[in-house]
Amino acid sequence: MWRRLLNLQDKPVSLEELQYRIAVIFVLLTFAAIVIFGFTDYMLGLNPILGKIRIVYALVFVSLFVLMIKYQKVFLAMNLMLGLILTFSFFNYYFNDGFQGPTIFNLFVFVVAISIFFKNPVNIIWWSAAILGYLLLFYFEIEGFIEVPKNYDSPQSLFLDNAISIFLCAIFIFIGIYFLIINYQKQQERLMLLQKENEKNLADLTSLNLKKNELIALLSHDLRGPISTLGSTLEFVDKGILDENELHQILSKLKSQSFQLNQVLNNTLAWVSAEMQNTTAERHLTDLAKLGEIMRDTMEGQAQSKNQKIQFTLRGVNKSIFLESKEVKIVLKNLLDNAIKFSKIGTTIKLNLDVQDGKIRWEVVNPGEMIPDNIKAGLFEFKGKSSLGTQKEKGTGIGLSLCKKIAKSLGMRLGYQYDNQENIFFLEIDLESN
């Protein structure tokens, strides 16, 4: 109820809200001090004029408080309140035995208040007015320019009023600084939460942007080979190298291969879309041998552009299992694409499938020199550039890194071996884990 009445936020999230919250606490403490000092002045028998002035002072103070709460004129209200407090403090100097009285303690509270609520140059102006004003009154009293009457009937009364003032001012400063620290800590906690939320949103945005880049890179990587093959075929047609029978055979194969490539590209798009939406890859009942034959037929046209052959071999008994077939096709397509790229003209590329009781292993094998150790160390890392193929074919340098990521997300192992003058890239999975 009090928070709604005073327009206080439960957890201030900005410096303005924090300062407003402390300002309200400061005003309430100041009003309490006015009441308490008025009561102690009356009990100590001080000049009754001082009590009447305090009543007027309190009423004006309340009106300024309403100005701050109801009309949200915080800066104006605080300046007027501080001006009222400073004026009353100087007036109180005369009725509280001058420099021997408790006026200086009010001055300390005033300095603490302006240091909390105001920035340069406003706080400097108020500080100068307070210090110079008090020192000027002090000097005038010492030099005899003003005569300050004795308002205490005994030294004990003077001591008691000073003691009460010291006690109340100390409480005032302690409570004010305590609430300042507590609210500052709440503000820091809130800002830390906002920072964590912003960091999470930034991480999500970065991840989404990375996946978008992966989509573009993977699609461009998968399209490069087929487009190159189509370009070579059209060049042969344009130069009249092919006779009608050969052209018919090539176009017939291109039709079949374009269908298979379209399926691969759809699979690629589906995988990246699933990654962007953080969904699990779908499993389909897959005939393993048929999958190998599809991959051979899909890449055959690209291999023929270099007079190469793709040989599919099944080792073991064929099985039909539930498998992330779309993603497996993406990986095998990229491995075959690399084998074609880095194999010489007329080479036979092998696509082997080993089906055992507890494991499935695909191998893409091509003859050639072993990959150097310095390249092998970062073979599956994103490089952004690629080595040239045997016919100066250009790559993107991202195929193997994305294949590695796909394999890891599926719980499969993607690796490289060199055996018997052949480069072997393998993709394997344990059937029990699958």
- Tens digits of residue pLDDT in 292-339: 998 898 888 778 878 899 999 999 889 899 988 888 888 898 899 888
**Measured distance CA(352)–CA(340) in Å, rounded:** 15
Answer yes or no: do 175 and 99 share one domain: yes
* Highest mean pLDDT out of 47-61, 91-105, 144-158, 326-340: 326-340
Examine the pLDDT at 276 and tell me if it is beyond 60: no
**Domain end position, chosen among 200, 215, 250:** 200
Answer yes or no: do 175 and 310 share one domain: no
Residue 150 lies in a domain: yes
Residue 320 lies in a domain: yes
CATH number of the domain at 370, please.
3.30.565.10
The pairing of strands 413-419 and 348-355 is: unpaired
Asked if residue 257 lies in contact with residue 301, where contact means CB atoms within 8 angstroms, the answer is yes
**Domain end position, chosen among 172, 200, 228:** 200
Asked if residue 427 lies in contact with residue 292, where contact means CB atoms within 8 angstroms, the answer is no
Answer yes or no: do 181 and 257 share one domain: no
The partner residues of 430 in beta bridges, in order of sequence, read 359
Least confident of 106-110, 203-207, 259-263: 259-263
Number of domains forming the structure of the chain = 2
pLDDT in tens, 208-255: 677 666 666 656 655 665 666 666 666 666 666 666 776 666 666 666
Residue 142 lies in a domain: yes
**Domain end position, chosen among 200, 232, 258:** 200
Answer yes or no: do 179 and 275 share one domain: no
Answer yes or no: do 192 and 246 share one domain: no
Answer yes or no: do 51 and 191 share one domain: yes
Examine the pLDDT at 8 and tell me if it is beyond 50: no
Answer yes or no: do 8 and 151 share one domain: yes
**Measured distance CA(268)–CA(413) in Å, rounded:** 19
Answer yes or no: do 171 and 307 share one domain: no
Answer yes or no: do 188 and 96 share one domain: yes
Residue 237 lies in a domain: no
Residue 220 lies in a domain: no
Q: Domain range for residue 34?
A: 2-200
Residue 168 lies in a domain: yes
Helix, strand, or coil here: 137?
A: helix
Answer yes or no: do 156 and 7 share one domain: yes
Residue 396 lies in a domain: yes
Asked if residue 368 lies in contact with residue 330, where contact means CB atoms within 8 angstroms, the answer is no
Answer yes or no: do 177 and 246 share one domain: no
Asked if residue 333 lies in contact with residue 264, where contact means CB atoms within 8 angstroms, the answer is yes
pLDDT in tens, 146-157: 888 887 778 888
Answer whether 0.85 is exceeded by the pTM.
Answer: no
Residue 217 lies in a domain: no
Answer yes or no: do 253 and 348 share one domain: yes
